[in-house]
Amino acid sequence: MTDALATSGLVVVDKPAGMTSHDVVGRLRRFFHTKKVGHAGTLDPMATGVLVLGLERGTKFLAHMVASTKAYDATIRLGQATSTDDAEGETISSADPSALSDAAITDGVAALTGDIMQKPAAVSAIKIDGKRAYERVRAGEDVEIPARPVTISRFDILEIRRGSFVDVDVHVECSSGTYIRSLARDLGEALGVGGHLTALRRTEVGPFTLADARTLEELEESPTLSLSLDEALARSYPVLDVTEEEAAALAMGKWLEPRGLKGVHAAVDPSGRSVALIKEKGKRLATVFVARPSTL
């Protein structure tokens, strides 16, 4: 294995509050002494939890990483709406939520579970005509982002706490592209009192969980990969065992005979090395991403 492949893979960070995802990238560049660091699935500064980053050739794998589902623990505050749908924005409306029953909150959550149309927050990172929505908002523009389909597979109420506001602790499992602060906003609107997010912790991104994650302090003390590129591919996709000869062909970007596979697989050679991601296209078993190109 070349040096580039020996240091290629994924680092799963337990992001602290108050940092942007790009801030974490900067820290890892310093810890690992490389500029080739990228991240998948941005987390807002107020959010904590699982942030998956790629190093060296792992950065190229991020675009192919299976992260169709994500999971979060969050707190929704009912009785107050903000300009950003989270605690970092300005209050735009307040209402007394004391009359809300537990049953009404439960019904509101149920209505936002399953396949729904969700309108992302105006301050999201979604690009509109090549410019991120939050940049347009900061420039004083009125931003209208159309609703889009998302899937909320679980939206569980963990606890309802009552005081000046009603704080609802929830666990959410959802499709990639779902905005939890939009769920908070929509729940508050549906209940007629407004709502926003006060805490957010991501617990899962695809097959990667908090059990894989390390703090920045731990990584600074011991800058090592969470998963090698071999482990990352095999964790993310079904494995197809290939021969040495087939592995060599895939490393050169060549295609193999089809085998009746459905979806993307990780091709693994007899020594356990992940050579490439492959997918059947017509009468070819072709490479989607070559982890170990013959040129390295």
Residues assigned a catalytic role? 44
DSSP state string for 199-258: EEEEEEETTEEGGG-B-HHHHHHS---SEEHHHHHHHHS-EEE--HHHHHHHHTT--B--
Three-state DSSP class for residue 51: strand
- Angle at which helices 102-111 and 180-190 cross, to 10°: 130
Three-state DSSP class for residue 232: helix
Question: Is 230 in contact with 6 (CB distance < 8 Å)?
Answer: no
Q: Which residues contact 245 (CB under 8 A, 6 or more apart)?
A: none
H or E element: which one contains 251? helix 244-251
As given in the structure block, the two tokens for residue 218 are: 């731990």
Going by C-alpha positions, the residue among 137, 11, 2, 154 that lies closest to residue 69 is 154
From CA 219, how far away is CA 178, in angstroms rounded?
Answer: 29
